[in-house]
Structure 1
Amino acid sequence: MKSIFSKLIVLCFFLSVSFVSQSQEFQGKAYYLTKSTMDLGRWGARLSEAQKKQVMARMKNRLEKTYVLTFNKTESFFKEDEKLDAMSGATDSWGKNFTQGDSYKNVKDTALVQSQEFYGKKFLVKDKLQKIDWQLGSETKQIGNYTCFKAMALIPSDELSWYNFSWDKLRRQTPEKDSLGNDVIPEIKMTQVEAWYTPQVPVSHGPSEFWGLPGLILEVSADNTTILCSKLVINPKETVDIEAPKRGEEIDKENYQATVVEKMKDFRNNRGGRRRG
């Protein structure tokens, strides 16, 4: 039954695409709100409720963000709508080192071009889009004026946050040994993703790293983050040229990650040296 349903969804998608293709100027703009939760761990257990609220208030500009996705039939451009930190009146310069930069996707060529800035240096990350094996479901819900269908996927966690850094990721790069002294191959962490897409907007685009469904993704949840479309405009009065970022040192995702890791190793070692001195 699910197989028949999936085929019907795909058929509707291609019929919609043929309809949309009659308008060469087809374009859309989707506005997304992201909300993340943060586990304060053992450190947070020592804080009072008032202190926890202060920490969460300070972190609000990292945990709640707004983005704009501009798209046509094959291309999209995903950009953060930056806002000032309500507490300090400044942008979050430290967090910016580990957040997603302006992202261009071409679903026809499965191409990704993303601008990243790390410690004042600009990079232009060029790579293939992460392939996502979506499982289409029959469950539906309404988001705004659009009927959305549910889809699920399991994606390697590191692929979803390749532009980010965590000390845990660094620890996992040092192979553990078994009782015989052999290297233990680390388990690949997977993240379960739940997405809601609408065939009423027949494009394969979505926010952040997500794409490849038979309709625009209006909501997606992965790990501790939910991204929800708050406003959708089809064929706005003013069209925007969708172009890939052009500035920065060209690099692929793997080498960009290696660059970040090496920089953070230096940061850790230098900080440890100062403490010993």
Structure 2
Amino acid sequence: MKNFNYILAILLFSFFFNESLYAQNFSGIATYKTSSQLKIELDSTAMSPAQMKAIQDKLQKQLQKEYTLAFTTSESVWKQVESLNSGPASVSSNGMEVMVADGSGNSVLYKNIAKKQFEEGSDLMGKRFIVKGELTEYEWKLTGETKKIGNYNCQKAVNSRIVDAKKFSTGMKEMEVTKDTIVTTAWFTMDIPVSNGPEKYYGLPGLILEVQRGNKTIICTKIELNPSEKIKIEKPKKGKVVTPEEYVEISEKKMEEMMKRYSGGNDGEQIEIRIGG
């Protein structure tokens, strides 16, 4: 593993040196699809196992989203492609409604790789915010594994880090915080000399084409390099500017308020929300 880390350091040095020489006007648009595996548990006898499985299958299908990453060598914009699956995923059965909202439908993420900064415009329960902060520096480790994604030769890199996983359910007065280890697997290609990727992922000597993190998978399905029409990289413009820490605090308060509203009318059924992890 040490040898692979040494190789990664050399690749990154070579990547940034070569990029400054010839890739000034390099750009492209990559299309990605996301999918998530859901496990919903309700303390209820109102649904049979078959009904619960049907709900999970329907929600998983609705959570399959499509995004585009418009990029240059130093900047990018990540946003969802409008479709019938835009917005929160929801399904109802026997008078009970289950909704999964990740806020990504109206989200626009701008990344500046050179400055290691991001700006994300996002809706939170009807209010618009612009979150400005520093990009997380991933300590990627090469594994030596390779595979093809489409026509591109890809290499595997992994990252492991500890995060706060927060849980709030009906009957609780405040969120329960636990530590969780998150392992992220990325497949990148040096055929595309851009240290970027989907969502907030970056930091490898080539474009990241696939990411696996927990129950979520993101995979590239189409790439257009140096399109004839110039790519526009625009930052989100409308919304209250907050830091990532402030946005998390606002999100948690909104979640707690929502759960407390449900507490009085769920007929003894437990509803649980997990944040992070």
Scaled by the length of structure 1, what TM-score is found?
0.80
Give the distance between the partners of 2:6 and 2:161, measured in 1 at CA.
Answer: 25
Tell me which of 3, 8, 11 is aligned to 1:9. 11
Give the distance between the partners of 1:262 and 1:166, measured in 2 at CA.
Answer: 13
How far does the alpha carbon of each residue in 1:211-253 deviate from its partner, in whole angstroms, 9 at most, with x for none? Answer: 1111110111000011110111110111122011011000011
**Pairing 1:92–2:93 present:** no
Give the distance between the partners of 2:205 and 2:10, measured in 1 at CA.
Answer: 11
Asked whether the equivalents of residues 6 and 137 of structure 1 are also in contact (C-alpha less than 8 Å), the reply is no
Give the distance between the partners of 1:97 and 1:107, measured in 2 at CA.
Answer: 24
Q: Measure how far apart 1:275 and its partner are.
A: 7.0
How does 1:119-158 map onto structure 2 within 5 Å? 119-158=125-164
Unpaired runs of 5+ in structure 2?
90-98, 268-277
Give the distance between the partners of 2:241 and 2:6, measured in 1 at CA.
Answer: 44
How far does the alpha carbon of each residue in 1:140-189 deviate from its partner, in whole angstroms, 9 at most, with x for none? Answer: 11111211111110134459xxxxx8537xx79657xxxxxxxxxx6532
Aligned to 1:32: 32
Structure 1 outlier segments of 4+, above 6 Å: none
Q: Measure how far apart 1:83 and its partner are.
A: 1.3
Q: Measure how far apart 1:139 and its partner are.
A: 1.6
Aligned to 1:256: 247
SS at match of 2:179: coil
Residues 192-201 or 39-48, more deviating:
39-48
How far does the alpha carbon of each residue in 1:56-102 deviate from its partner, in whole angstroms, 9 at most, with x for none? Answer: 2244222x1111000001101000113114xxxx8438644643721
How does 1:1-277 map onto structure 2 within 5 Å? 1-21=3-23, 24-41=24-41, 47-49=48-50, 51-62=52-63, 64-85=64-85, 91-92=87-88, 95-96=100-101, 98-99=103-104, 101-158=107-164, 167=168, 187-273=178-264
Give the distance between the partners of 1:77 and 1:199, measured in 2 at CA.
Answer: 20
CA shift in 2, pair 1:70/1:44, >3 Å: farther
Give the distance between the partners of 1:215 and 1:10, measured in 2 at CA.
Answer: 9
CA shift in 2, pair 1:58/1:4, >3 Å: closer
CA shift in 2, pair 1:95/1:239, >3 Å: farther
The structure with the greater share of residues assigned to helix is 1
Give the distance between the partners of 1:33 and 1:265, measured in 2 at CA.
Answer: 31
CA shift in 2, pair 1:109/1:18, >3 Å: closer
Give the distance between the partners of 1:207 and 1:44, measured in 2 at CA.
Answer: 38
The structure with the greater share of residues assigned to strand is 2
Give the distance between the partners of 2:266 and 2:189, measured in 1 at CA.
Answer: 54
Identity of counterpart residues, as a percentage?
31
Asked whether the equivalents of residues 97 and 118 of structure 1 are also in contact (C-alpha less than 8 Å), the reply is no
Unpaired runs of 5+ in structure 1?
160-164, 176-185
Aligned residues: 253
Give the distance between the partners of 2:192 and 2:219, measured in 1 at CA.
Answer: 16
CA shift in 2, pair 1:210/1:44, >3 Å: farther
SS at match of 1:257: helix
Give the distance between the partners of 2:207 and 2:231, measured in 1 at CA.
Answer: 18
CA shift in 2, pair 1:258/1:238, >3 Å: same
Q: Which amino acid letter does the alignment assign opposite residue 35 of structure 2? A: K
**RMSD value, Cα:** 3.0
Scaled by the length of structure 2, what TM-score is found?
0.80
